[in-house]
Amino acid sequence: MLKQVGKALRCFRWLPVYSWQWLIRRPPRTGVVHVMIAVADHFEPSIAPGTPETYTSTDEQERRVEQWCSEYPKAVDRWRDADGRPMLHTYFYPAEQYNKTLVDRLAEHCRSGWGEIEIHLHHGIRAADTAENTRRVLVEFRDRLARLGCLSRWNGEGPPRYAFVHGNWALANSAGGRACGVDEEMEILAETGCYADLTLPSAPHPAQVTKVNALYECALPLHERAPHRKGRDLVCGRPPQIFPLIVQGPLGLDFGRWPCLENGELTTLHPPTLRRLSLWCRPAISVIGRPDWLFIKLHCHGMNPRDGAAMFGTSLRQFLEELTKKAPAYRVHFVTAREMVNIILAACDGREGDPGTYRDYRLRLAQRTAGSPHRRPDSVPCDLRLSAPLGPTPLSRGNSPYRQDGLSHLHA
């Protein structure tokens, strides 16, 4: 019993920090507030609900991906943000489950403008993984995605860059050795071109760190276990020096009908609503000095058949209708993970104006195809103000010099 109580307390070590934030943080109450919404989709076609160590059949995986690529655009195309763009997902595809047919189909979906692919990884499940194997799997999958034109490059040049989500939440071996085993994982991410990690929040999982509701650089050496336990908040006018950046989603408590955890997860039982939007905005996650640009990173498992209603159904459509037509307090921008990080970098460089103009600020993809839904004649952007692009600067990596050197299972 005492062991269970101790485990529960460790899962909520972040509560004191959150309580202080709840007292002192608020979104701006005057002026235009821009809200960037990104959906980090742990996109696992193999997921078999209730049996996490089992993969569904290849035929079923192909059916799911094809259904998503055909049905998702029809479900959300009607509703547009301030820039005339639909709600997009960033598809964090599991590197250890690479399937050429599935990834090629998803890449085609993304080239049409319906999202972007980044890297997800489950490893160290049955036994601790090694640094060498982790590097190898990341580099192989990174290069496969780069050949498909799925990944970005700094100012459009140089080696491929990627965003990352750790499977089973155990980023940089932060779960006591479970579901990872590689203390120096953050350093490996930096060396292989990762510009941002979007794993957190992981609560109520024990891998949750005490630093919450923040955009920051790791303050501990990247070769240490869980260097994201400590961090330097990103500040307007101070470009970040250590990558990957840590981009956290909202974490807190919902004191509605009964107290419950709010961690930004989208499921059938917890679909998006305007009430939840207010909870996501409450922590005011932003670059310090740019409080009118709020960043909301949500997460989901889009391939989980149990959550289809939250991905395609009435609850999602009602949310989009209310968000785009009845939420005048905010100017909403639907963004991918890459675009969110670009806007964060623009804020760090002191950029002003409409954040939607900085979607391709530093990390740039190849030109999208003609069928892109990002603009359409009958969708007029709201208050679009263009800004002159900033000249190129090198990507700093702190104490991890970039090298072109170079997992294993489960769902999260």
Lowest mean pLDDT among 184-193, 197-206, 358-367: 358-367
The whole-number average pLDDT for the span 203-207 is 95
- pLDDT over 50 (residue 86): yes
| Confidence bin at 329 (pLDDT 50/70/90) | confident
How many residues can be counted in the chain?
412
Model pLDDT, residue 235: 98
**Amino acid letter for position 261:** L
Which residues touch 269 (CB under 8 Å, ≥6 apart)? none
| Confidence bin at 162 (pLDDT 50/70/90) | very high
Q: Please report, for the chain, the start and end positions of each structural domain, with discontinuous segments joined by +.
A: 32-364
- pLDDT over 90 (residue 2): no
CA distance 303 to 295: 24
- pLDDT over 70 (residue 389): no
Model pLDDT, residue 367: 57
- pLDDT over 90 (residue 373): no
With respect to CATH, is domain 32-364 assigned 3.40.720?
Answer: no
Do 248 and 297 contact (CB within 8 A), yes or no?
A: yes
Model pLDDT, residue 404: 30
Q: Which residue has the higher pLDDT, 43 or 375?
A: 43
Do 39 and 300 contact (CB within 8 A), yes or no?
A: yes
Whether the ω angle into residue 49 lies within 30 degrees of 0, i.e. cis, is no
Distances (CA, A) of 100 to 29, 53, 192, 251: 48, 22, 22, 35
**Amino acid letter for position 260:** C
CA distance 45 to 53: 14
Which residue is it, tokens 């943000």?
81
| Residue range 218-254, pLDDT digits in tens | 999 999 999 999 999 999 999 999 999 999 999 999 9
CA distance 285 to 298: 12
CA distance 118 to 101: 17
With vertex at residue 204, the alpha carbon angle to CA 19 and CA 53, rounded to the nearest 5 degrees, is: 165
Positive or negative: CA dihedral 351, 356, 357, 359: positive
Mean pLDDT in the chain? 88
Which residue is it, tokens 């840590």?
246
CA distance 318 to 297: 20
- pLDDT over 70 (residue 45): yes
- pLDDT over 60 (residue 371): no
| Confidence bin at 9 (pLDDT 50/70/90) | low
CA dihedral 359, 365, 366, 368 (to 10 degrees): -50
Model pLDDT, residue 64: 98
| Confidence bin at 50 (pLDDT 50/70/90) | confident
Which residues touch 215 (CB under 8 Å, ≥6 apart)? 233, 234, 245, 246, 247, 248, 285, 286, 287, 295, 344
The whole-angstrom distance between residue 129's C-alpha and the CA centroid of its chain comes to 24
- Other CB atoms closer than 10 Å to residue 280's CB: what's the count? 24
| Residue range 108-155, pLDDT digits in tens | 999 999 999 999 999 999 999 999 999 999 999 999 999 999 999 999
- pLDDT over 80 (residue 402): no
Model pLDDT, residue 370: 45
Q: Can you give the chain as a three-state secondary structure string?
A: CHHHHHHHHHHCCCHHHHHHHHHHCCCCCCCCEEEEEEEEEECCCCCCCCCCCCCCCHHHHHHHHHHHHHHHHHHHCCCCCCCCCCCCEEEEEEHHHCCHHHHHHHHHHHHCCCEEEEEEECCCCCCCCCHHHHHHHHHHHHHHHHHCCCCEEECCEEEEEEEEEEHHHCHHHCCCCCCCCCCCHHHHHHHCCEEEECCCCCCCCCCCCCCCCCEEEECCCCCCCCHHHCEEECECCECCCCCCEEECCCCEEEECCCEEEECCEECCCCCCCHHHHHHHHCCCCCCECCCCEEEEEEEECCCCHHHHHHHHCHHHHHHHHHHHHCCCCEEEEEECHHHHHHHHHHHHCCCCCCHHHHCCCCEECCCCCCCCCCCECCECCCCCCCCCCCCCCCCCCCCCCCCCCCCCCCCC
